[in-house]
Chain A
């Protein structure tokens, strides 16, 4: 892979980013080799980018199912381990089971959603990555990989599209 270069282009305007992405695609850079980095979320359709397939809802649902089963075990399982009768109520009371199973389902959902985000975004990761602090100051960056021979041509094109700065970023620890 010695004949590819990593280039970062910083923009101010989302329109310019969308246009540049189109031009890059026309130059044969695939969507996999491009990443848009911004300080504000721009929906994929604004930038004209393919959507990412989400596993997160499934992770959340799995967590909720685990929570649900924990709730059922605590309410219907533990009284059988050590039966104790109280207040003339059934050993396995249904209405309180509903309350607790609900809470534990929600707890499972919440915890798994959080862990799911971390998992999906591979957080935490402090290792060296291509990044520029100007990105949190309102710039939108296109980070892409291109063959070395195209480099100059692409840089010129991006500047013509309105890029403030086009350069070879360095990996830096975050």
Chain B
């Protein structure tokens, strides 16, 4: 047997170990080991069903709200499967979508600036990526500011982030005033501006109208996404860890996936035929 190398990968909720078996300069086998076990699936056993609304978000500190919404929907399904109709009012559905959306925005910012970009500093010895330096870098600090700002939207409707249980089967517990809704929309506007100036490097409408990577690279000014794409290509990350082309996608991303439905037999994909219900 060849060489075995274990690497520790730290990030969220406990470390992950990556165990690689090397043979003749190639990875023969790979194992991802998560040595920490909390056992939520066993902890839930025998508990009253609504208690899952309190326990499940605590599976994850960065995306606990997704666990809450998923749990709420799962419990609603349980009621429905026993023949009890659950009517979630339209405004509650919208509020759930808004708060889960706010958490996703927070996730994107924290992952990109805190968990992805700092790793490039190690690869980029010669180049200055000082702005992305954890704790000290100005871009890292801005990511703290704006990722913390967007979760205020969850606090408006759910009281706090992380770990609220404000969504319950049948709806949400809040009844926001007009002024609380305005507080949330103002927060979202401020995030759009941050994203335009720092991530897209152009305004949102322009970004949505972009049709190719070249056009994006050409038009983006001061864009961290552009910087990221540059670094990925420079270090050939767009060629590493390639998957099996089992994606449904409306765009091309060089080397990684192609436009179309690519499971087994490639088919054409027409974005114009996509409907949103």
Q: Do the two chains belong together in a single complex?
A: no
